[in-house]
Structures are given as structure tokens and as C-alpha cells.
């Protein structure tokens, strides 16, 4: 197996899942956002390099049966600030992975996409057949990469691709220190330290917070399931909760009061988002097994 972005939060959790089932794992990462510490002590091969270099990607793909393509330049706010780099990494980088995998006879590429491709929706929960309407440059780039994946599975014989769309993933090895850090690690570290948390908007926006082990399981199943090639699957908890409720739940687990400061909504953010996961259940045989509270407890143990 090759895992691009294997030094990142979700990627390093996926690497562990693959190793646990006995796979031979290689990682491609430039560690611009990933962390080498996430891979310490693991019996894997690490190739350091850029997704934008076809030569480097091709070398990493060589000899692999399946490619899990998680490498990306994430974050909606970052894409608003720098749409050109977001596009180059997330679109051109994905095209390099697909071309290298095609040229090396890889059996299947599993591409990790994002709920941001849906954009603001009145129809909730969102299903995979809804017309995408991304509002951020990040969402646009992820959608373009998705379409390349679907196209390659259609035009190149025996070349398989599967797209999995993630929703607000959280869990161990998710850094709270980046300026683009996700909400749960930021909330946990602030509440644990007795500091106020910053809530963008009124906090009543609903999100599909999904514990990382659920995502790892769904992603691994996407590499093996029959009838999945050329298709897109939501991988999420399918259990919407408000940002305010998440903050309260974290305070409850920590046994700490929650003090909030409110800021204007961030440009590019979606108001409400959660997934219908019927297709993943039916085709991948997948079911989320770790709920929000249990996931928060497991996450907090690693951060505090």
C-alpha cells in the first residue's frame, strides 16, 4: 500500500490501520503540514517528496497494489488566502498520483475528498448524487480532483478509483497548534487550560463530527469493495451536532467550565453539513462504530 499524506492526522491513523492488518506500507509526504513524529516507531518506508513532482510521485507509486491518496493542502481558510497553491497541490498533485498509478498498473486508487464539495445545502442530510456547489477554493479543488478520479476509472480499462468524502474528522494526532487547526483540538486545549474558546458565528451551525477510526475503516473498505470503482461515498458519523453542543460535551468530559468568545463567521464556511451514509453501508459494508462522546474521550486522553 502507498499512503500519500501519511504523515498527517488522518493519514497516520490510516497507516496504523493498514499495519495492524499486516499490509506492507509506504508513505509519501513532504511534511509541510504532516509531522514525522506521527510515524515514529512504525515499520514503514517513507518517501519524502512533493505531490507536484510527477517523478517523485511515480517513484513512490512503483510496486504498489493500492494507493490511498490523502496528500493535500487542507483548510478552507488557507485556500481563501492562497487559492493558487491550494489548486496546484490538490488538483495537479492528484493528477500526478492518478497518472503514476495508471502507468504503474496500480489496482485501485482511493481518493480522500471533503464534504466542502457540497457547499451550502437545503437538502440535508447530503447524498452523493446531489449536484456539488462548493463555495471555497478548497472545495472547488477537491471537486476537480474527484472528477479526475471518476474520469480515469471510465476511460482507462481496468483502472479503478473510489472517492470517499470525509466530514469533520477528529481524533488522536490532530494538531491544535496550527493557525488552521480544526475546532475540536482547539476547544480541548483551551478548555483544559481554563481559557476561553473562539466560536465563529453563533455556534448553532451543525456539523457531522466523525471519529477518525470510523474514517479509517471506511477508507480501507473502499480499497476492497466490489462494485465501488468510479463511485463516490460519504464517510461520516451521520449524526449532526452543533458547535456549541460539542463545546459543552468537551467541558463535560474534562470537568471544566466553558467560556466562549464569539467572532464573525469565517469566509467560505458552510452553515450546516451532515451526511447520508446509506451508499457506504450498502456497497462498502461499512458502519460508523465510535460515537461522538466516546470519540471525544479517546481524543482528550491524547491531548491533555
Residue 184 in contact with residue 209, Cβ under 8 Å?
yes
Cα separation, 227 vs 153, whole angstroms: 12
Residue 180 has pLDDT above 70, yes or no: no
Q: What is the pLDDT of residue 175?
A: 81
Residue 77 in contact with residue 268, Cβ under 8 Å?
yes
Cα separation, 265 vs 269, whole angstroms: 7
Q: 232 burial class (0-12, 13-18, 19+ CB within 10 angstroms)?
A: buried
Mean pLDDT in residue range 67-81:
90
Cell numbers that stand for 124 in this block: 440535508
Structural domain contains residue 57: yes
Residue 51 is given by DSSP the state T
Query: Tell me: the pLDDT tens digits for 138-149?
Result: 999 999 999 999
Mean pLDDT in residue range 235-241:
95
Cα separation, 245 vs 119, whole angstroms: 23
Query: Within 10 Å of residue 287's Cβ, how many Cβ atoms?
Result: 12
Residue 30 has pLDDT above 90, yes or no: yes
Q: What is the pLDDT of residue 9?
A: 94
The size of the chain, in residues, is 304
Of 74-78, 228-232, 243-247, which range is least confident? 74-78
Residue 111 in contact with residue 150, Cβ under 8 Å?
no
Residue 178 has pLDDT above 80, yes or no: no
Query: For this structure, is 138 an active site residue?
Result: yes
Residue 304 has pLDDT above 80, yes or no: no
Catalytic, out of 111, 138, 166, 211 = 138
Cell numbers that stand for 180 in this block: 488552521
By residue range, what is the domain housing residue 154? 2-166+212-236+275-289
Peptide bond into 125 cis (omega under 30): yes
Cα separation, 158 vs 181, whole angstroms: 39
Cα separation, 186 vs 291, whole angstroms: 20
Structural domain contains residue 181: no
The percent of residues in the chain predicted with pLDDT above 90, rounded, is 88
Structural domain contains residue 65: yes
Residue 124 in contact with residue 193, Cβ under 8 Å?
no
Structural domain contains residue 188: no
Q: Total domain count for the chain?
A: 1
Mean pLDDT in residue range 34-50:
95
Structural domain contains residue 47: yes
**Average pLDDT, rounded, for the chain:** 94
Residue 171 has pLDDT above 70, yes or no: yes
Structural domain contains residue 194: no
Strands of the sheet containing 160-166, edge to edge, are 45-48, 26-29, 2-4, 66-69, 108-114, 160-166, 231-235
Structural domain contains residue 245: no
Cα separation, 89 vs 70, whole angstroms: 12
Cα separation, 217 vs 15, whole angstroms: 11
Would you put residue 105 in left (φ > 0), alpha (ψ -120 to 50) or beta? left
> In which band, very low, low, confident or very high, does the pLDDT at 76 lie, cut at 50, 70 and 90?
confident
Query: Tell me: the pLDDT tens digits for 99-124?
Result: 999 999 999 999 999 999 999 888 89
Residue 114 in contact with residue 163, Cβ under 8 Å?
no
Cell numbers that stand for 119 in this block: 457547499
Mean pLDDT in residue range 168-185:
81
Q: What is the pLDDT of residue 192?
A: 95
CATH number for position 30:
3.40.50.720
Residue 226 is given by DSSP the state T
Structural domain contains residue 244: no
Query: Tell me: the pLDDT tens digits for 254-303?
Result: 999 999 999 998 877 778 889 999 999 999 999 999 999 999 999 999 88
Residue 134 has pLDDT above 80, yes or no: yes
> In which band, very low, low, confident or very high, does the pLDDT at 22 lie, cut at 50, 70 and 90?
very high
Pick from 187, 221, 207, 178: nearest CA to 299: 187
Amino acid at each position: 500500500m502507498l499512503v500519500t499524506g501519511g504523515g498527517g492526522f488522518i493519514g497516520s491513523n490510516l497507516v496504523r490501520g493498514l499495519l495492524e492488518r499486516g499490509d506492507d506500507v509506504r508513505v509519501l509526504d513532504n511534511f509541510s503540514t504532516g509531522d514525522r513524529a506521527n510515524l515514529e516507531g512504525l515499520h514503514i518506508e517513507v518517501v519524502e517528496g512533493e505531490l507536484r513532482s510527477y517523478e517523485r510521485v511515480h517513484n513512490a507509486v512503483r510496486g504498489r497494489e493500492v494507493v490511498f491518496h490523502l496528500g493535500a493542502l487542507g483548510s478552507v481558510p488557507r485556500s481563501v488566502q492562497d487559492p493558487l497553491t491550494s489548486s496546484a497541490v490538490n488538483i495537479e498533485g492528484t493528477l500526478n498520483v492518478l497518472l503514476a498509478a495508471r502507468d504503474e498498473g496500480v489496482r485501485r486508487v482511493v481518493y480522500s475528498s471533503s464534504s466542502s464539495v457540497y457547499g451550502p445545502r437545503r437538502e440535508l442530510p447530503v447524498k452523493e448524487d446531489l449536484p456539488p456547489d462548493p463555495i471555497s477554493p478548497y472545495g472547488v479543488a477537491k471537486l476537480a480532483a474527484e472528477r479526475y478520479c471518476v474520469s480515469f476509472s471510465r476511460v482507462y480499462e481496468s483502472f479503478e478509483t473510489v472517492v470517499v468524502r470525509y466530514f469533520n474528522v477528529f481524533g488522536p494526532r490532530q494538531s491544535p497548534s496550527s493557525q488552521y487547526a480544526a475546532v475540536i483540538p482547539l476547544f480541548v486545549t483551551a478548555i483544559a487550560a481554563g481559557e476561553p474558546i473562539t466560536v465563529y458565528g453563533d455556534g448553532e451551525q451543525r456539523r457531522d463530527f466523525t471519529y477518525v477510526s470510523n474514517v479509517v475503516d471506511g477508507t480501507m473498505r473502499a480499497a476492497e469493495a466490489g462494485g465501488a470503482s468510479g463511485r463516490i461515498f460519504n464517510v461520516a458519523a451521520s449524526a449532526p451536532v452543533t458547535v456549541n453542543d460539542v463545546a459543552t460535551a468537551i467541558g463535560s468530559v474534562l470537568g471544566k467550565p466553558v467560556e466562549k468568545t464569539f467572532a464573525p463567521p469565517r469566509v467560505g464556511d458552510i452553515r450546516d453539513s451532515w451526511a447520508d451514509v446509506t451508499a457506504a453501508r450498502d456497497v462498502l459494508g461499512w458502519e460508523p462504530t465510535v460515537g461522538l462522546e466516546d470519540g471525544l474521550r479517546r481524543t482528550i486522553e491524547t491531548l491533555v
